[in-house]
Structure formats: C-alpha cells, structure tokens
Amino acid sequence: MQGARNAIRAHPERCVSCGRCLLACRKQGVLEFDGDGRVRVADAARCSACYRCVDVCAHRALTSGLPGGFEGEMRSE
C-alpha cells in the first residue's frame, strides 16, 4: 500500500447523505460533507485505512483506493 492518501476514494454522486460513514470513522476530520451534502475526503493523511466507512456505506459512495479494491467490490472504473 502506498499510504493512507490512497486508502479511501469518495464517489459523491453515489452519496445519499446518511452520515453513516462519518459515524463509523474513528478519526475526526478525515471525511466531511461538501456544499451539496455529499461525502468527500477532507484530510486523507489522517486516515488509518481501517475501511469502516467503506463497510457501512450501502451505496458505495466510499471505496478502497487500493488497486482492484476489496474482494467483492464491483469495479465502476
């Protein structure tokens, strides 16, 4: 892995603003909502790459930034 900067990818177009990812994140300030109320990575350097936010997002607005993603993730790119 190349570090936490590549750990999480946000896909704001999939976000429904439920806030589950922010509640699941153990580190304050990694994620935030943008002006449209959609999730974005605010401070990737703070991310510990635990992927709790990815696990709780039913809409896949957050995915792993690792090449190929997690086993079982559908590729959208």
Domain at 4-64, CATH from 3.40.50.720, 3.40.720.10, 3.30.70.20, 2.60.130.10: 3.30.70.20
What band does 14 get if pLDDT is binned at 50, 70 and 90?
very high
Residue 62 CA from chain centroid, whole number: 3
Q: Which of 13, 14, 31, 10 is nearest to 22 (CA)?
A: 31
What pLDDT score does 65 carry? 77
Q: Which of 43, 40, 46, 29 is nearest to 62 (CA)?
A: 40
pTM: 0.75
**What pLDDT, in 10s, does the model give residues 27-72?**
999 999 999 999 999 999 999 999 999 999 999 999 987 665 554 4
Measured CA to CA, the distance from residue 40 to residue 14 in angstroms comes to 11
